[in-house]
Amino acid sequence: MSFTLIQQATPRLHRSELAVPGSNPSLFEKAAKGAADIIFLDLEDAVAPDDKEQARKNIIQGLNDLDWGSKVMMIRINGLDTHYAYRDVVDVVENCPRLDMILIPKTGVPQDVYAIDMLVTQIEQYKKREKRIGFELLIETALGMANVEAIAQSSKRVEAMSFGVADYAASTRARTMGIGA
């Protein structure tokens, strides 16, 4: 039994997630009609650096203009070690009431989650947003794995955590046989 009290996250189905590059809006409508529980519109790995600003605009337009039905809508922001992450959060959260979750890549320490949580909280208060945005955290480094328990308890917004095997293997210099090889 644990004496750590963590508020229960919003109950959502997490059976399947579909990644869609934000730089390819022609795929948005097809994704909206698909069977995945969660659609994550990607601003990180699937988008070239020169396309990130346009991808962000595409995502804002797509979230606001398309009928996503009952799907959980999530964006994967760029890593906190980049100058893109701030704009990813501010621009999309401020302009997309349809956004349900944020996928935070390469989460290494609880402070990574805290930084995004505080930014999202301020935007929600400013925009008088009633629907609280949840987080999915990607553990993709040895640092993240070493801190996984603290990361899991770092925010009441945490709804899910995933393990990114390819980036983890790269962070530990492990040999891979098929992922990213």
In CATH, what number is assigned to the domain containing residue 40? Answer: 3.20.20.60
Residue 2 pLDDT grade (very low, low, confident, very high; cuts 50, 70, 90): very low
The answer as to whether 180 is a domain residue is no
Residue 42 lies in a domain: yes
> Which residues, other chains included, contact 9 with Cβ-Cβ below 8 Å and sequence gap of 6+?
134, 156, 157, 158, 159
User: Could you tell me if residue 178 is inside a domain?
Assistant: no
Cβ atoms of residues 133 and 99 within 8 Å: yes
Report the number of distinct structural domains present in the chain. Answer: 1
- Which residue type occupies 51? D
Contact present, 98 and 131 (Cβ < 8 Å): no
What's phi and psi for 60, nearest 5 deg?
A: -60, -45
Provide the pLDDT for residue 56. Answer: 99
Is residue 68 within 8 Å of residue 7, measured between CB atoms?
Answer: no
pTM for this model (two decimals): 0.90
Return d(Cα 80, Cα 111) in angstroms, integer: 11
Domain-located, residue 176: no
* Tens-place pLDDT, residues 130-141: 999 999 999 999
Core vs surface per residue 97-135: b (16+ CB within 10 A) or e: eebbbbbbbbbbbbebbebbbebbeebbeeeebeeebbb
In a domain, 43, yes or no: yes
Domain range for 144 is 17-171
pLDDT, tens digit, 9 for 90 and up, residues 13-59 = 788 999 999 999 999 999 999 999 999 999 999 999 999 999 999 99
